[in-house]
Amino acid sequence: MSDVGDFLVEHIYVPILVGVAIVVIVGVIVYCCIRSRRSLYRDYSLLGEDVDLVQRIRAESQKTYNTLRDTAWMNCQYYLRGKPQYQSLEQIEKIGSRTEKHWFRVYDGQSKASRILTVANKSPKMLVSFSNKTCTTLKDMLMLLQHPYIFPVCDLDFVIDQKLVVVLETISIRGSLKDYIYQSRCMDQYSEKYRHKSRGLLSKQIPLFGRQVLEALLYIEEKGLPPHGHVRSANIMLENNYCRLAACENTFLGYESPIYHLIKKKLKKAKEAIDVISFGHLIYEMCVGFELDTAHPEPSHLTMCQNPQVVKNENAVYPTVRQVADHEFFSGVQLTELKLSNLSPISLSTPMKSLVKMVQEGKPVARKSKTDQSKSRKMSVSTETSRGPSQAAHPPPPPPPPPPPGIPTFQAGITSAQVSPVPPGQPPIVYSPHLSSVPSVGEGRSALLGDIQRGTKLKKTITNDKSAPRI
């Protein structure tokens, strides 16, 4: 022991170096611990910032949706003011996939039944003109489609000034085929009810439901209409134990199917195959219980399908709807509803054929340019001038005779609130307000929507314009 002490005395720098080394090691350990804690804190901070960002994005998205929802509610109230047939407006959840579409429940006083009313923005890809004439023609054409496997449209309307499309349909108690596949409630929110995967349908249900949809497509094709274009489980309604294809109006309105972005490249060389490709996606969803996420099924997709007849593909050319219906997987299905129905022949009018032609050719409505319209007006004025006063095509109407005493008189654009009370024994005073005093359509609608939003009761406005002459 004395040797160690003598050694340390002689070599005093050794314990000093050991002490310094220990201090350095401890310092390094402390530094590493502090840095690790700072890194961990920073990671938690970044994670917290990410969580806050996601929450902010969700909050902004919900705020935007609530604004659109409130606007749709006011638009629907404004629309129904001119439709006393429909009552008891109730806004329901977003049960479909379209972001610009809103759903309501109304009561139809004429049919004594509830209806689903949807309000959607006009599509910028709509080829036919957005006019009252087009609306009437399209609605009449949809009413002609009386088939057991086609879901009927009760009413269709265009709100021209707001560029909105209103569609009314019956309520399917069992919901859509998609609801049935996923075993979801039809009135639940779309983003929630299809999150989980399903096991698919029974093997005997797939050819039955598939053949019913094919018969609806064949009926549309035989009547000379363009392809349906929106064959998907969410557009197929269940009634009792059979399917009815809905959304027959979407092609004319310019809307695109949610799966269009998947299959659009396949349609460049075979545009008419949209229904066959969409039908293939439908069959796959019925088999495996979830949607196909590619244009064509990959080998990994096909391994999930248990029925070999469904995945059989003999050539690379797209078959027609008739060829698919004649396939042995569907040809032996008994269609009870079709046998019991009495399908009457239909004939499309000339305006209907014009709509069909525009959609099939994919060409928008030809509109006159401003130059052509100006030339047309100049030619009209020139013609009227050349005819002279006595040969004018539209001579000015004679002034109306004075109304007899005691009988109220109404002129164009004058309501009952604009006629002053008539004292006994004197003729009525009829006011003709100046055009400048009449509010524009936009101003009147804005005021009305403001009243609707505030919940105030609208009152009649009495106009008392004393600038008109007394008759």
Residue 461 phi, psi dihedral angles, 5° rounding:
-105, 125
Lowest-confidence segment of 25-39, 115-129, 363-377, 385-399 by average pLDDT: 385-399
More confident call, 392 vs 321: 321
Measure the CA–CA gap between 282 and 277, rounded to whole angstroms: 9
Pairing verdict, β 86-91 and 113-121: unpaired
pLDDT score of 313:
58
Q: Which pLDDT belongs to residue 47?
A: 61
Question: Which of 80-84, 274-278, 305-309 has the least mean pLDDT?
Answer: 305-309
Mean pLDDT confidence for 50-57: 79
What percent of the chain is modeled with pLDDT above 90?
A: 51
Whether residue 394 is predicted with pLDDT greater than 80 in this model: the reply is: no
Helix, strand, coil percentages (3-state) for the chain, rounded to 5, are: 45, 10, 45
Q: Please give the pLDDT value at position 389.
A: 46
pTM of this structure = 0.69
* Residue range 183-208, pLDDT digits in tens: 999 999 998 999 888 889 999 999 99
Q: Estimate the crossing angle of helix 132-144 against helix 350-361, to 10 degrees.
A: 100
Lowest model confidence (mean pLDDT) among 155-159, 167-171, 307-311: 307-311
Across the chain, mean pLDDT equals: 79
Q: Residue 3: what pLDDT?
A: 67
Alpha helices in 145-197 (DSSP H): 177-182, 190-193
Give Cα separations from 73 to 76, 163, 355 (angstroms). 5, 15, 31
Question: How is the beta sheet containing 113-121 ordered, strand by strand?
Answer: 86-91, 101-108, 113-121, 164-170, 153-159
Q: What is the DSSP string of 351-400?
A: HHHHHHHHHHHT-PPP---HHHHHHHHHHHHHHHHHH-GGG-SSPPPPPP
Whole-number pLDDT of residue 365: 56
Encoded tokens for 400: 């109306």
Average pLDDT over residues 141-162: 96
**pLDDT score recorded for residue 432:** 34
Q: 4-35 burial, b for 16+ CB within 10 Å, e for fewer? A: eeeeeeeeeeeeeeeeeeeeeeeeeeeeeeee
Confidence of residue 17 (pLDDT cuts 50, 70, 90): confident
What is the residue type of 362?
Answer: G
What confidence category does residue 379 fall into, taking pLDDT thresholds of 50, 70 and 90?
Answer: low
Nearest to 157 by CA among 113, 232, 112, 106: 106
Q: Band of the pLDDT at 210, cuts 50, 70, 90?
A: very high
- The C-alpha angle 422, 428, 433, rounded to 5 degrees, equals 115
Supply the CATH classification number for the domain 83-361: 1.10.510.10
Judge whether residue 23 has pLDDT over 70.
yes
- Compute the distance between CA of residue 310 and CA of residue 307 in angstroms, rounded to an integer: 6
> Pick from 139, 145, 195, 140: which is nearest to 167 by CA?
139
pLDDT tens figures, 318-346? 999 999 999 999 999 999 999 999 888 88
How far apart, in whole angstroms, are the C-alpha atoms of residue 463 and residue 357? 49
Classify each residue of 417-426 as buried b or exposed e, where b means 16 or more C-beta atoms within 10 Å of its C-beta: ebbeeeeeee
Q: Where do we find the tokens 């008739």?
A: 322
Residue 24's pLDDT is what? 84
Q: Looking only at Cα atoms, what is the longest distance across the chain?
A: 146
Please state the rounded mean pLDDT for residues 154-166. Answer: 96
Helix (H) or strand (E) holding 250: helix 250-253
pLDDT of 51 over the 50 cut: yes
pLDDT given for residue 276 in this prediction: 96
pLDDT tens digits, residue range 60-108?
A: 888 888 899 999 999 999 999 999 999 999 999 899 998 889 999 999 9
What angle is formed at CA 297 by the lines to CA 291 and CA 300, rounded to 5 degrees? 95
Q: Which among 177, 195, 24, 190 is positioned nearest to 103, based on CA atoms? A: 190
| 222-249 residue pLDDT tens | 999 999 999 999 999 999 889 999 999 9
Nearest to 157 by CA among 135, 173, 137, 140: 135
| Structure token digits, residue 191 | 């983003």
**Confidence label for 353 from pLDDT (cuts 50, 70 and 90):** very high
Measured in whole angstroms, the distance separating CA 49 from the mean position of its chain's CA atoms is 35
Residue 1: pLDDT band with limits 50, 70, 90: low
pLDDT of 11 above 50: yes
As a whole number of angstroms, the distance between CA 327 and CA 322 comes to 9
Q: Are 221 and 360 in contact (CB under 8 A)?
A: no
